[in-house]
Chains A and B, each alone.
Chain A
Amino acid sequence: MITLTHYLVLSALLFGLGLYAVLTRRNSVAMLMGIELMLNAANINLVAFNKYAAPGAMQGQIFALIVITIAACEAAVGLALILAAYRRFETTYVDELDTMKG
């Protein structure tokens, strides 16, 4: 039978994948995709806890809902920034944006 732990392990793995993408990918859009994966992993955690550990209230799912909303906002703004940066520097590769490199 599927317990809370299963979900937690799954989300941990998903989180790890997302983190790996953020830390190692060169393209900023790819980094953003990693962020989305991490957010989803967190959401899975929230909902799973809601069902297994605190089923009396809806807090977990509401929290996850808000997270999705905010994630959407963040993706929008982030992509707008990437576009703006692309217009300015002609690149979306993070390691080529190095004017602050000392």
Chain B
Amino acid sequence: MTSLVWVIPLLPLAAFVAVTFWGERLPGRGAYVSIAGIVLAGAAGLVVLADVIGGARADVTYTWLTLGTRPLVVGFVVDPLSAVMLAMVGVVASLITIYSVGYMAGDPRYPRFFAYLSLFQFSMLFLVLADNLLFIYAGWELVGLCSYLLIGFWFERPAASRAALKAFVVTRVGDFSMMIGILLLFLHTGSLRFDEIFRALGAGTFGGPTLTLAALLVFGGAVGKSAQVPLHVWLPDAMEGPTPVSALIHAATMVAAGVYLVARAYPLFFLTPGHQALTIVAYVGGITALAGATMGLVENDIKRVLAYSTMSQLGYMFLGLGTLGYTAGMFHLLTHAVFKALLFLAAGSIIHAVGTNDMKRMGGLTRALPVTFWTFLIGTLALTAIPPFAGFFSKDAILVAAYLHDKTLWGLGLAGAFLTSLYMGRLCWFTFAGTYRGGDPEAAHGAPHESPRVMTVPLIILAALAVVLGWVGADVFGNPFARFISFPELTAAPGTLGLVGASLAAAVLGWAAAGALYPWRLVSPAALRQGLPWLYTLLVRKYYVDVVYDWVFVRGGAVIVWIADAFDRYAIDGLVNLLGWLARQVGFGVRVLQTGREETYLLLAALGALVIVVVRLVW
């Protein structure tokens, strides 16, 4: 099975081709074919995972072409890391695709949506199985393309088109950095394959500051793709896309690709002098974890709160990886995929019912949407790291690693945990508690009601996973996950009771704060806003990052464009027009020779004769 692993990405690719060309006429207008593609891939992924747990490994290679004397060998690798990703992507994507049948029902471009989903699934599976940087970069770009297509799926809305473009351009910046990094690695190691690069690193032929540079450049790609500061600005806007897209791409899989990349290329970072690169990764992650949480606190759009939450949680994953918590970071990636997808899908169910994203217009939905409510609650508890749900074990592991490495980072993580509970509590309060504030009845076609089973069943499955998945990484059960996925030189440190207690306390305090602000009204949010207006403005304006980018890059770019345009129009076109003008003028001059008027001809004859005579005399 493992040597045939390359077939797995081809299944959704085949679905993509089929739905693109024959979508309307296929069963379920293309949806069932797409589902079949990813479910088969997911099932195969689980089989591969079982094999790998049993000890199977594989590296299927293929000599693509020979450049001079150097063969370009590419292939797919099957090891614990890729097997876990394969299974996770397969399962989560399957559930989301099934969910989309309900969510996208009635959309005029229904088949196209499933085609795009299948293309994305192919790209993501291709990316996680890659054993060389070339394939990873290819997959990277493909998922970026799919993200663009899917964010801008409802392209008649100008906000959606702009968001798609913003996502693409911002991640492009990261991709460019990554490309330079890849080239640097190739230059110094002569290969793009991970195993050969790692061998070169181990042999000591490549190291020092250059290695740090290459590692950080590659990390740049992850910063873009995983929406870390400073390339985070595209993720909130990407919520313009349909909610299944937000769940699949911008919560569970594509944004996790950055974390996967760092994990896959870990020796690159680990072997830099003094783990410099890892420190940078950790700090970027930590800052993002805190910044994302603060910005999510003041949003009223339910999806945007979840987007900032995703950004923040991805920051935690990098924080984990960067503080030598290799296992912790990957574990959090896995659990986060499950509960964030759950939260987004449940949010989609809510949006479907009330017709709006605005939390201020929701409320009182516990009775109207029971399944959605309970699954959402489970997801929230998982996210805010309340035991025994999944997030507790993974986030805790990260905080332990952080504490042992750098207390400052631990502090950042703890503050973020507090805020996570706070903003999620706020979100739950506005969305579910109190009385219904009307929503948007027109867009919702009637009063809020529970979603169809095709949407609620995936929610239930994900909720179940959110409950139990954490236990594979729990020290209580011997932490089988750590034995499965770990980095050779590191051992996952078990958490002490004190540390565990601290993180739990932070989370619970956050919930308490939410309670104080909203249901129990001990402190009024309005008073906070008025008491610290500058803080509020700073948060609402997202630390003015978007403003700065707009002025420097967008308007600055516009100036350059204006200069180029002026040059093109006046200098280059001017030159061409000059030639035309010149031709015309010469024409006017030459036209004199053929006026059709006799007196002109006589004059020219006399003049010509005169000139000949004079020239003959003078020369």
Verify that A and B bind, or say they do not: yes
Residues of A participating in the B interface, judged by any CB pair closer than 8 Å: 19, 22-24, 94-95, 97-98, 100-102
- The answer to whether A22 touches B602 (Cβ under 8 A) is yes
Q: Do residues A102 and B595 form an inter-chain contact, with CB atoms below 8 A?
A: yes
Query: Are A98 and B596 touching (Cβ within 8 A)?
Result: yes
> Which residues does chain A contribute within 8 Å of B595, judged by CB atoms?
101-102
Pair A94/B606 contact, Cβ less than 8 Å: no
B residues with CB within 8 A of A: 594-599, 602-603, 606
**Which residue of B has the minimal Cβ distance to A94?**
B598
B596–A23 touching, CB < 8 Å: no
Chain A binding surface, main DSSP class:
helix
In Å, the complex CA distance between A19 and B595 comes to: 21
CB closest chain-A residue, reference B607: A23
Kindly report which residue of chain B lies nearest to residue A100, judged by CB atoms: B596
Q: What residues on B are CB-neighbors of A19 within 8 Å? A: 606
Tell whether, in the assembled complex, residue B596 and residue A102 are in contact, meaning their CB atoms are under 8 Å apart. yes
A-B contact list, 15 entries, CB within 8 Å:
A23-B599, A23-B603, A23-B606, A24-B599, A94-B598, A94-B599, A95-B597, A95-B599, A97-B598, A98-B596, A100-B596, A101-B595, A101-B597, A102-B594, A102-B596
A23 and B597 form a contact (CB under 8 A): no
Contacting residues, chain B, for A98 (C-beta < 8 A): 596-597
The 7 residue pairs across chains A and B that have the minimum distance between CB atoms: A101-B596, A100-B596, A102-B596, A94-B598, A23-B603, A23-B602, A101-B597
Q: Tell me the minimal C-beta distance from B435 to chain A in angstroms.
A: 89
Neighbouring A residues of B598 by C-beta, 8 Å: 94, 97
Neighbouring B residues of A22 by C-beta, 8 Å = 602, 606
Q: Which A residues are CB-close (under 8 A) to B606?
A: 19, 22-23
Residues of the B chain whose Cβ atoms lie less than 8 Å from the Cβ of A100: 596
- 6 other A-B residue contacts (CB within 8 Å) besides A98-B597, A101-B595, A102-B595: A23-B599, A23-B606, A24-B599, A95-B599, A100-B596, A101-B596
Q: Which residues of B contact A23 (CB under 8 A)?
A: 599, 602-603, 606
Q: How far is the CA of A22 from the CA of B607 in the complex (A)?
A: 13
CB distance from A92 to the nearest CB of B (A): 12
**CB-defined contacts of B602 to chain A, threshold 8 Å:** 22-23
A33 → chain B closest CB, angstroms: 14
Q: When chains A and B are docked, how far (Å) is the Cα of A63 from the Cα of B414?
A: 124
For B603, give the chain A residue with the smallest CB separation: A23
Cα-based distance from A97 to B601 in the complex (angstroms): 13
Which A residues are CB-close (under 8 A) to B596? Answer: 98, 100-102
Q: Which residue from chain B places its CB closest to the CB of A24 in the assembled complex?
A: B599
B366 CB to nearest A CB, Å: 91
CB distance from A22 to the nearest CB of B (A): 6
Question: In the assembly, what is the distance between CA of A47 and CA of B595, in Å?
Answer: 39
In angstroms, how far is the closest chain A Cβ from the Cβ of B588? 13
Instruction: List, in ascending order, chain A residues with CB within 8 A of B599's CB.
Output: 23-24, 94-95
Closest-CB distance, B370 to chain A (whole angstroms): 91
Docked CA distance A50–B510 (Å): 130
| CB-CB nearest in chain B for A99 | B596
CA distance A23 to B602 in the complex (A): 6
Minimum CB–CB distance for B40 against chain A, Å: 79
Q: Which residue of B lies closest to A19 (CB)?
A: B606
Task: Report chain B residues within 8 Å CB of A102.
Answer: 594-596
With the chains together, A24 CA to B599 CA distance in Å?
Answer: 7
Nearest-neighbour CB distance to chain B for A81, whole angstroms, equals 12
Report how far A49 CA is from B493 CA in the complex, Å. 128
